[in-house]
Structure 1
């Protein structure tokens, strides 16, 4: 009969218990895994106590203890290896989890930065489109609004004139859409723009026109060059602010430009 051992942690039976467990025969495992049996010797005569050397029990017990210790050592080593492998797997899983979380956080941060950049760009564009500029850079008014005289068919000046020699760049004062670009009679070559706020601006006496009807313009876009075309006594830019695209709907252009943040 072979010795058996329950799985898990346990206490081995004492040497005394093992020696009495199998007097008839003791089975042990060889290094190659074969089972060998220690047969019991012939029964002693009545009244005689057999010596350990004669029974073979001592050798069997020692062999059993050695095998048990070897099995315990192997089991312990296997358990330690399994624990180490489990710890390594757990550490690798945690590292992967942390790396994934770091990637998600980095992606979220990058997305927030991108959104912030886009918002800033939209805000900058909005401000730019709502910004007004003077129609002629670095110029000043040569003739004021509603100046009287026979030079104007209405009897007074319907806009303001800016000093500008022929060929000076003329800019749209703000964002809008071109509704007229061509010959304007007494205004010579002229451009009329419908502004974003629903008002209209006019640019007259141009030597050349650089935009066409239906074109969208932004603040500061060059729309033509100043000149001396139409009813004029010399080169300059005639600028008007109107409530409609039609002649006679003029309003004070100085007050109009100042209401949009310009100083002149």
Structure 2
């Protein structure tokens, strides 16, 4: 004989029924204020945990991103600063190099100018006229008359020159005569660079040869008293040709070349 269970008796409450009952109980407890006392700590704790987890997760996400951005910005700033420093250093080196080059060029220019001045001065001295004997003066003037000269007058000037004095070319020229000159004794005749001629007589010694080029101030002989002479001195003439009789005023000639006589 089969047994059957009466409908509605001894059946366990369904899940829906249980949930409804629980909700009704909760509502009842809430109405009485019990749930506020009993459930609040648990709810609060659960809410706090959720908030903490949420906040921690947010920090884990936001903080690294912020730190990376700051690091990138710092690196960029450092790179910019290094680039600016390198640029400034390069500019300073360029300026220093330019200044060194300018100074070197200035020194080179000054050296060239000094060399050119020295060359000009040397050329001036080479060409500059001077007295035939240092520190001398005229003792017998040009065109002085007397029986001492066969022509009746002096064709040059006599310069004081103690025996052995150095006699030099009054200017640059070429030797056209060097030897015995009769009444002039040992004499030298030079063709000057300006086309004129000068003659030096009564020398005790001659130190140049025909054809030799001489600069102003170059020694050509030693003073003496050879030829028609009454004592040691230098007979000096200025001429338009190398020959006797073409003489011009020797003092005026020397002065025209800047010599103080």
Same fold, TM-score > 0.5, yes or no: yes
Distance 2:259 2:87 in 1: 69
Match for residue 210 of structure 1 among 207, 212, 236:
207
Distance 1:234 1:58 in 2: 132
- Asked if residue 162 in structure 1 is aligned to residue 159 in structure 2, the reply is yes
- Asked if residue 246 in structure 1 is aligned to residue 250 in structure 2, the reply is no
Aligned ranges 1:31-50 → 2 under 5 Å? none
Match for residue 231 of structure 1 among 218, 228, 237:
228
Aligned ranges 1:78-157 → 2 under 5 Å? 78-157=75-154
Between structures 1 and 2, the one with greater strand share? 1
Distance 1:171 1:106 in 2: 45
Is the Cα–Cα contact under 8 Å of residues 127 and 215 in structure 2 kept in the other structure?
no
Q: How many residues align?
A: 215
TM-score (norm. length: structure 1): 0.72
Larger Rg: 2
Distance 1:127 1:260 in 2: 12
Aligned ranges 1:64-83 → 2 under 5 Å? 64-83=61-80
| Pairwise CA distance, 1:82 | 0.7
RMSD: 2.6
Q: Deviations over 1:11-34 (max 9, x none)?
A: xxxxxxxxxxxxxxxxxxxxxxxx
Residue in 2 aligned with 1:4?
none
Any gaps of 5 or more consecutive residues in structure 1? 1-49
Residue in 2 aligned with 1:18?
none
Any gaps of 5 or more consecutive residues in structure 2? 1-45
Distance 1:204 1:123 in 2: 32
Distance 2:202 2:117 in 1: 39
Distance 2:78 2:211 in 1: 81
Moved more, 218-227 or 140-149: 140-149
SS in 1 for 2:204: strand
Between structures 1 and 2, the one with greater helix share? 2
SS in 1 for 2:189: strand
Distance 1:263 1:84 in 2: 76
| Pairwise CA distance, 1:89 | 1.0
